[in-house]
Amino acid sequence: MAMQLVRAPEFAESEKFETAERRYAVVLSAQITPESEDTPISVRVCNISAGGLMAIVPPHVALRGQVSIMIRHVGKLIGRIVWAQKDRIGVRFDAEIDPVALLAERAERAAAPSLLANRFVELTKKTMAVPGMDFPIERPLGELRAA
């Protein structure tokens, strides 16, 4: 049984899609919310370009029309589903993006220490404090064991 590519109605007559933009292979978790619904659907973004993205959707999920895509450490993107094939969809953005800048900014945000991480470190220092021992521990682990 051959897989069938299902195109959005406005692209049904097209011989082929314009895919001149450079695609960047990524593995990003995202939430897609169809315009007509309130509940987001978890997807995995596989590639992204200036004009759109390709994502893997859960089995038996049929998405159509206008969608908003929330990508962690990136933000919200708006687009339209232009094709669907088995467990994959293609989304064309309403406005072009700069994928290189977007991915670089995402990497910076992901690497930045969070308030939660900082609170965890402070709590750890307080709860694991040993009288006479300062944090951070500056002695090698072997010296600590011998003490």
Q: What is the pLDDT of residue 115?
A: 66
Domain that holds residue 131: 115-146
Rounded Cα distance between 80 and 22, Å, is 19
The pTM of this model reads 0.64
122 and 88 in a single domain? The answer is: no
Reading the block at residue 106, the tokens are 């995402």
- Give the pLDDT confidence of 104-139 residue by residue, as tens digits: 887 887 777 766 666 766 766 666 555 665 555 555
128 and 57 in a single domain? The answer is: no
Rounded Cα distance between 98 and 108, Å, is 16
119 and 92 in a single domain? The answer is: no
DSSP helix/strand/coil, 116: helix
- Give the pLDDT confidence of 5-40 residue by residue, as tens digits: 555 555 555 555 555 778 999 999 999 999 988 899
Residue 98 lies in a domain: yes
The two counts, helices (H) then strands (E), for the chain are 3, 7
24 and 48 in a single domain? The answer is: yes
Percent of the chain's residues with pLDDT above 90:
41
107 and 124 in a single domain? The answer is: no
Angle of CA points 18, 6, 100, to nearest 5°: 40
